[in-house]
Amino acid sequence: MVVGEFTTEVDLLIIGGGPGGYVAAIRAAQLGKKVTLVERDKLGGVCLNVGCIPSKALIAAAHRYEDVKKLDEIGIQAGDVRVDFAKVQTWKQGVVDKLTGGVASLMKANKVEVIKGEALFANDREARVINGYEANRYRFNQCIIATGSRPIELKDLPFGGRVISSTEALSLQEIPRRLLVIGGGYIGIELGTVFAKFGTQVTVLEGTESILPTFEKEVLRLVERRLKKLNVTVVTSAMAKGVEETADGVTVTASVKGEEQRYEADYVLVTVGRRPNTEDLGLDMAGVRTEKGLIQVDKQGRTSVGHIFAVGDVVPGPALAHKASYEGKVAAEAAAGEASEVDYRVIPAVVFSDPEIAVVGLSESEAKEKGLDVVTGRFPFAANGRALSLTDAEGFVKLVADKSSGELLGAQIVGPEASDLIAEAALAIEMGATLEDVALTIHAHPTLGEVMMEAAEVGLGRPVHIAPR
């Protein structure tokens, strides 16, 4: 029985407190809007609590564990190195709690009212927020939907027990002896690499002909080689068909290139994509139009109902936290009457694999498919002093530019700190910079960032630290 229902008038109602919702709340408050934010779980959403942040914490821990084991290569004897995984998890949770606590403080500092509960539209001006046995109505002038997404569940491998999603994988209290990963996308490869470094026997089943199928082969080659060194078994063209519990784990049946195979593991991690959280919002009651579960919006994030906006994983485009935050700012500014609109000239994408992959803009093949005449510049980390001194010199930076104007069109990085280095390329493309602009920018020495400058010089045909092609 639900009790205590009453109606409250609010100005801007935001549904969802993830990187799209809480950023929108802050920007709207900065612009003078009175904001009420509804979150059913924890502020920070999937990204801060069970996604981006905890996964990167575990990745960092796995990297450091591996680095310590290899210290003898540079003359440092570290002795017997062991992992207290429960303590690793405690540390990881501390990182998460610090950040989610920071979001709560930001809500308070910006005078954003935060309400715990699950929102359901009653009509295009009202939403019912349910929290346990309490339900209250909120009548709003404007609304921003930022409810995010969740892992896709396979019909033949339903979540439960030892069949887990990334959420449960990030909270395991022991290191599995055997882990079967269904899906070779970025989540599967990232988490599979983490556990492989901690000593788990990892097998990845990917339905297509390649892991990370949206990336170019020359980029993937280094990641595939590294997975092999970590004794990760990658099986492509493999479709999981069913699962059964065993005395000490699970057995998965899969079709591999038309033949049935069986795989045993302690856990099965299913990472085949994410689904937008839109079906339980009562969008039809509000008149908000969707297509294949995604809310259709214009360049300001407006839905088919002019005073209701949507951002992040619930709208078309890649499900990326930084995209959600960007859209949240635009929607908040539009709600405040500003002329802001999204400009997706480039959206960088990063895979925290080993080595890291980061891309932005067009690849060489994509540019050629568009009929563009391009020039490329590629420079290896093996010729970079900082990378060599870090004992991490695998990979390269590749820049793609228009041949006649030299304007930068895209960049692909595979190697150390690719996730940080890609920002320079993204800014260069946004500003219409040319290869010459990048090459003439003085980069500090010795740094990994010099590789960007060196790649630009290769593209211009005047490389300094590698032999000319």
The pLDDT tens digits for 276-323 are 999 999 999 999 999 999 999 999 999 999 999 999 999 999 999 999
Is 445 annotated as catalytic? Answer: yes
The pLDDT tens digits for 19-29 are 999 999 999 99
Burial class (CB in 10 A: 0-12, 13-18, 19+), 149: buried
Paired tokens of 283: 């969008």
pLDDT greater than 80 at residue 389: yes
- Directed axis angle between helix 418-430 and helix 450-459, to 10°? 50
Amino acid at 366: E
273 assigned binding-site residue: yes
192 assigned binding-site residue: no
184 assigned binding-site residue: yes
As a whole number of angstroms, the distance between CA 217 and CA 410 comes to 16
Burial class (CB in 10 A: 0-12, 13-18, 19+), 205: buried
- Directed axis angle between helix 52-69 and helix 186-197, to 10°? 40
pLDDT score recorded for residue 344: 86
pLDDT score recorded for residue 5: 61
Please state the length of the chain: 469
187 assigned binding-site residue: yes
Catalytic residue among 63, 307, 445, 465: 445
Q: Could you tell me if 301 and 331 are in contact, meaning their C-beta atoms sit under 8 angstroms apart?
A: yes
Q: Average pLDDT, stretch 235-252?
A: 94
149 assigned binding-site residue: yes
pLDDT band at 80 (very low <50, low <70, confident <90, very high): confident
Residue 171 Cα distances to 1, 83, 267, 273, 334, angstroms:
34, 16, 13, 19, 39
pLDDT greater than 50 at residue 241: yes
329 assigned binding-site residue: no
Q: Could you tell me if 363 and 412 are in contact, meaning their C-beta atoms sit under 8 angstroms apart?
A: yes
56 assigned binding-site residue: yes
pLDDT score recorded for residue 1: 43
Selected residue with higher pLDDT from 177 and 73: 177
313 assigned binding-site residue: yes
pLDDT greater than 60 at residue 84: yes
Q: Which of 453, 409, 428 is nearest to 466 (CA)?
A: 453
Beta strands (DSSP E) in 70-227 are 113-116, 118-121, 126-131, 134-145, 149-151, 163-164, 178-182, 201-205
**How do 408-414 and 396-402 pair as beta strands?**
antiparallel
pLDDT cut 90: percent of the chain above it: 94
**Which residue segments constitute the domains of the chain, with CATH numbers given?**
7-150+275-336 (3.50.50.60), 163-272 (3.50.50.60), 348-460 (3.30.390.30)
As a whole number of angstroms, the distance between CA 465 and CA 459 comes to 13
363 assigned binding-site residue: no
DSSP string, 342-409: ---S---EEE--SS-EEEEE--HHHHHHTT--EEEEEEEGGG-HHHHHTT----EEEEEEETTT-BEE
pLDDT greater than 50 at residue 61: yes
183 assigned binding-site residue: yes
As a whole number of angstroms, the distance between CA 224 and CA 74 comes to 26
As a whole number of angstroms, the distance between CA 239 and CA 261 comes to 10
